[in-house]
Structure 1
Amino acid sequence: MSYDDILNSIGGWGKYQKWICLLLTLSTIPNGYFTMILVFTSKTPEHRCRIPEIDGLHGENATLTPFNVSGLSEYIPWDSKNNRFDRCLRYNLTAKYGFNETQNTTGCDFGYVYDIVEGQLTAVTEWDLVCNYSYVKPRISSVFMAGVLFGSLICGVVADGFGRWPLMIASTYLQFIFMGLNIFNTSPAMYAAFMFFAGGCSLNNFVAAIVIGAEICDKKHRAFMETSAMIGFCVGYMVIPLFAYFILEWKTLFLVTAAIGVVYIPYWWLIPESPRWLITKNKFIKAKLLLKKIAKFNGVNEDIDTFFTDENLFLMSNDSEKEEKSISDSQGNEKCWTKIPYIQLFTHPGMISRTLYSCCSWFVIALTYYTLSLNTGNMGGNDYINCFVSACVEIPAYLSVYFLLRRKGRRTLMISYLLAGSAGCIITPLIMRVSDIGGIVTAMIGKFFVTSAFGLVYLYTAEMFPTVSRNQALGITSMFARFGSVIAPYIIYLGDTNGRELPYTIIGSFSLASALLNCLLPETAGTHLPDTYEEALEMKSGRCMNLRKRVRKHSDKELKEDDDTSSVFAA
């Protein structure tokens, strides 16, 4: 008897699973607002040089200094390109009240004046991270994403070796702790350090929640569980602009959002370990007790001890080992050195291009997604509304993946999403020149399709690679996604220094190139998951001329089974 058989006998989607699904969904909300909190804590408002003759010296009623005052043209040159006073230069005056327009300009040696309301303070305004020090801001964002990359490297090892529950609980609590420590920041370096460790914890918490949910419910509801977790992330994303609108001081914003962590203290007792993991680690007694608890909560009154015999549990624990052995035997003629992790992905004939194309897709999707998400402050209009709308479009995006997967092929959807996202990004700079609102609309259209591609790429990648290397393929491709997220802040920085239209042109071009590369990847809808490289290579790579071809030859039953047994948003 398999684990799925036992799970179905005690209620694979009973009250207990629904309760845990709700708790896990709520646990992903902080991941959303902590990932996007940098949009507001590191926000760069409009600024200009401080003029002592007009504004007083730095520290003299600094928070009350008006940004727009008369007489600035005598002290600050006009930036005709951006139609505003220069942000980083002032005239080099030789006398207190005298000036000469022919004299050279100088930097803002008396500090800066920011266009902010009373009480508003960000990391940028506190440490003057503008002009010559503007490069520090993208570095902090990149360090946070580097922490996410670090977390992705250790996440699988910890989850498999020590359990899903310890990883989720520890990461959840540490995430709140490191975010809360930002109230003690005294320098950008300390700020970056806290964000690095918080980033490392945020991914681990999110992944562990999805894995626990997927392993505690039946296969028909795994995609629903994972979709719920993604929607929880979106809710957190939607919440952060509301918090930031009412909490203007950046350290207070960190304090309030981190204090919410007390709500998750009961998770220590409420969230269970994965029964599947307990069985694979031969922890039969704990697995039996947990499965009985689930059965009782679900109202299963029949005598179920017969399902929980030590013999059945032992057989289930060896299932994965037998599968790995059979796969190893089928690959027995391969050289020993090819069994080194990741080697076959880059050396096996026919798989090299597939691996490289997949890595490029993950890189581009993550780069585009985080550039659009973190760049809402540069779109024009209201920053808070922009961020809120950007979060709102993600919910229908993930739902579109959930429903369209049953009707369309994976490759067809992926190419369509990337082409549509590319079009939205590329036309955004053109629309921005006419209307800020129009530019926001087209950018959000691009965000919708790129988010959909992000939701699909996990499943598509998992189905292209054989069992013997599937986890390795997901690991290496998701690592390239983290590289994209690390670079995204610098794409935004290029927009700050070279015009706000530039980031959209860059990510739109990358998305277009990625869509063309996906034309060379195989369609996987309606096929069984391959166990060997030979089976994986039987899936023929497509061509761009077949883009409009629909995968309808497979029965609805095959597609349904394929969707039920695969994870849409697997970690």
Structure 2
Amino acid sequence: MSTPPAESVEGLVRALGDPGRYQVLVMVLLCFNYVPVSVNHLLMAFHGFAPEHNCRLPDQWPRNVSLPTVAPTIGDPRYQSCSMYVDPANHSWGTKDCIYGYEFHVEGLEWTVVSEWGLVCDRKYLVSIITTLYFVGVMVGGLVFGALADRFGRQPMMLLCLYVQLILGAGLFFVRRLIIFIAVRVLQGFFVQGLQTTTYSMVMELFPPHHRTLAGVAAEVFWAIGLILLAVCCYFVQHWRHVQLAISIPTLVTLLYIWLIPESLRWLISRGRSRRARVVAERIAYYNGLRLSPELLLQLEKLCSSVGAHSAKGVDITDLFRTPAIRRNSFVLFIAWFTISLAYYGISLNIADLSGNRFFNFMLGGALELVAFLLTYVSLRAVGRRACLVSYLFLSGALLIGTVATEKLLHTELISVPTLVTSLALLGKAAVVSCFCAVFLVTSEAFPTVIRSLAMGACVCWARAGSLVAPQVLRLADISYSWMPFLVFGCLALLCGFLGLLLPETGRRALPDTIQQAERSRKHDQDDIISDVGYGASPRWIVQDGLIVSRPADGSVRGSPERVPHWAASETSTDDDEKFSYPPRSIDDSSLLRFVGDKTVVHSSNSHGDFKQHVVLCDIDETRL
């Protein structure tokens, strides 16, 4: 089967499969990268767990007279965790710190990083420091690899991050010193975030607009699957060193990605790499059972020349602030990523302190995320990106503040307050992960291809700033009130919800490839082009794959219903002039469109048959913008 011609990058993507089985296979393989990302980001929820403990005593010291008890005690005595008597024979001398170390009371073979290096009592702060430093590496990695992926390509950066984090994760099994453990975790975070940034860009660039929602949600579903697998692994494996091997070694299967995962076709076109773009396009077409037509190959060359010319100038971080639309989107999304990440990791790292079994709570949280992602997919399709993001921000803020109100206002005689607080916290986490799903999509669609990975990396940098602050916010529970962290998370979520109203709706727009295209999309929604440019609301013209084309003689309109203008979908009569009393506008000197030429195009479709259309070729007169 031959491919139809394509006049734009979006049209080229559709011509190669909409979607084809090859793109679906590549998407699934890329989504598996999200499993090690989620596992490593939340690993300290288990590695940082502190088992019950008390001071270690010399052999000849009896415990019942050497350790102070926690009053009141019922049944077997419970001893204080961080102190011992100065003189067991004379308690009036008071207590002192645990000078002989600590004795941990664990179930089965469980052994955590906390029990390995005694990170309790006066060394407890090191647990939050380990988590914070890991996210420092994550923050820097997202920014660095975002820029590197835009310059050197998505695929090589993705493979580099995937295999280096595997080596570092397995290497932690052999670490014997805490300072080395911290250093390796920081390096691992650096490459893990590079893996997430490049992977998401590749997934989004595989598909046209009407399939990007499903692709983005699929990636987040694998994130939730990773969390469930982490809880199951830590429950059965228990020793943290063996957990490191269990979560790292399976990644060896991804060595096949060197041959299975191609470079992003969009990136190759945006960089003007026509030879490699042709190789990738031929590969996609072959596995989808298509044959590249000469017209499509010629159009591919033209796209590489035209789009590549716009991106020939090097890009840097300042491009996120140079033009109005991108600058506005950058500031709002930076704040959104910071807030969502702060709330998500704050809740996730606090799950071990909630009532109930921590393994079950964590696995339940992952399962709720899975359900939340599926519901988010329905919401994104129904109401769009911006409305979905803003709604879930308000919902998460209300639920998190609700946990504070429950803890402060309800009494245990009326209801099991700890259980209700845990339930609200888990529901709040589910709402926050829905925000994550929506903000990922908005970010990938709001920025052009030439700076997409850079923008994603910058947003992730702000997200990791939130995640590294999260452990410190949780310490507010120790120095002020137990409910203070959730109040902070909830108030910031509500504030961010109002800011989200400033974002554009990106759901039905073609992905911009250049900065100029991204700025134009600020002025014209794809659904409004029909009434805003060139021909106005004439029944003789429709928008087809980004082009203004004549309506077929039989009145049919190709494409999904969401891309068909409302007047084209609702009218059934063939006499268009009887339905519109005003004449169609032509291109004049005041129009933003500039006439380039015209031609007749034959469209082939399995579902609609073949039909001809007279295509008027125009471009935007930028001097009139």
TM range (shorter): 0.7 to 0.9
Distance 1:114 1:515 in 2: 44
1:19 to 18, 25, 38: 25
Superposed displacement of residue 133, structure 1:
0.8
The alignment status of 1:317 with 2:317, answered yes or no, reads no
Distance 1:343 1:42 in 2: 39
Change (3 A) 1:12 1:517: closer
The residue identity in structure 2 corresponding to 1:396 is V
1:395 to 335, 351, 370: 370
Superposed displacement of residue 316, structure 1:
0.9
Change (3 A) 1:183 1:270: same
Note if contact 1:7-1:217 (Cα within 8 Å) is conserved in structure 2. yes
The alignment status of 1:446 with 2:428, answered yes or no, reads yes
The alignment status of 1:43 with 2:30, answered yes or no, reads no
1:215 to 205, 225, 243: 205
Superposed displacement of residue 357, structure 1:
4.6
Note if contact 1:465-1:536 (Cα within 8 Å) is conserved in structure 2. no
Per-residue CA deviation, residues 92-141 of structure 1 (Å, 9 max, x unaligned), is 22xxx4132x4332111122122312422111101101111111111111
Distance 1:169 1:464 in 2: 26
Distance 2:287 2:225 in 1: 29
Distance 1:445 1:401 in 2: 14
Note if contact 1:79-1:85 (Cα within 8 Å) is conserved in structure 2. no
Structure 1 residue runs of 5 or longer lacking an equivalent are 57-68, 329-337, 540-556, 563-571
Partner of 2:396: 421
Change (3 A) 1:133 1:536: same
Secondary structure of 1:113's counterpart equals: strand
Change (3 A) 1:77 1:514: farther
The residue identity in structure 1 corresponding to 2:433 is T
Distance 1:48 1:230 in 2: 41
Distance 2:309 2:450 in 1: 13
The residue identity in structure 2 corresponding to 1:454 is F
Note if contact 2:35-2:222 (Cα within 8 Å) is conserved in structure 1. yes
Distance 2:31 2:333 in 1: 29
Partner of 1:92: 86
Partner of 1:287: 277
The alignment status of 1:142 with 2:124, answered yes or no, reads no
Partner of 1:437: 419
The alignment status of 1:306 with 2:300, answered yes or no, reads no
Change (3 A) 1:402 1:211: same
**Most deviating of 524-533 and 485-494:** 524-533
Note if contact 1:77-1:89 (Cα within 8 Å) is conserved in structure 2. no
1:234-245 → structure 2 map (5 Å cutoff):
234-245=224-235
Partner of 1:457: 439
Distance 2:22 2:439 in 1: 30
Superposed displacement of residue 510, structure 1:
2.5
The residue identity in structure 2 corresponding to 1:426 is I
Superposed displacement of residue 223, structure 1:
2.3
Secondary structure of 1:78's counterpart equals: coil
Superposed displacement of residue 523, structure 1:
5.9
Change (3 A) 1:505 1:223: same
Per-residue CA deviation, residues 373-423 of structure 1 (Å, 9 max, x unaligned), is 222111121110111111112122223332212333655433332222122
Partner of 2:37: 31
1:39-188 → structure 2 map (5 Å cutoff):
39-52=45-58, 71=64, 75-78=67-70, 85-93=79-87, 97-100=88-91, 102-188=92-178
Note if contact 1:467-1:532 (Cα within 8 Å) is conserved in structure 2. no
Change (3 A) 1:559 1:185: farther
Change (3 A) 1:28 1:425: same
Number of matched pairs: 508
The alignment status of 1:278 with 2:272, answered yes or no, reads no
Partner of 1:376: 351
Distance 1:210 1:245 in 2: 30
Distance 1:260 1:469 in 2: 33
Distance 2:207 2:521 in 1: 29
Secondary structure of 2:241's counterpart equals: helix
More helix by share: 1
The alignment status of 1:524 with 2:524, answered yes or no, reads no
Superposed displacement of residue 23, structure 1:
1.4
More strand by share: 2
Q: What TM-score do you get using the length of structure 2 for normalisation?
A: 0.72
Distance 1:150 1:356 in 2: 18
The alignment status of 1:513 with 2:488, answered yes or no, reads no
Secondary structure of 1:114's counterpart equals: strand
Change (3 A) 1:214 1:480: closer
Please tell me whether Structure 1 or Structure 2 has the larger radius of gyration of its CA atoms: 2
Q: What TM-score do you get using the length of structure 1 for normalisation?
A: 0.79
The alignment status of 1:259 with 2:249, answered yes or no, reads yes
Partner of 2:542: none
The residue identity in structure 1 corresponding to 2:83 is L
Distance 2:519 2:71 in 1: 60
Structure 2 residue runs of 5 or longer lacking an equivalent are 1-6, 526-558, 565-625
Change (3 A) 1:466 1:158: closer
Note if contact 1:215-1:274 (Cα within 8 Å) is conserved in structure 2. yes
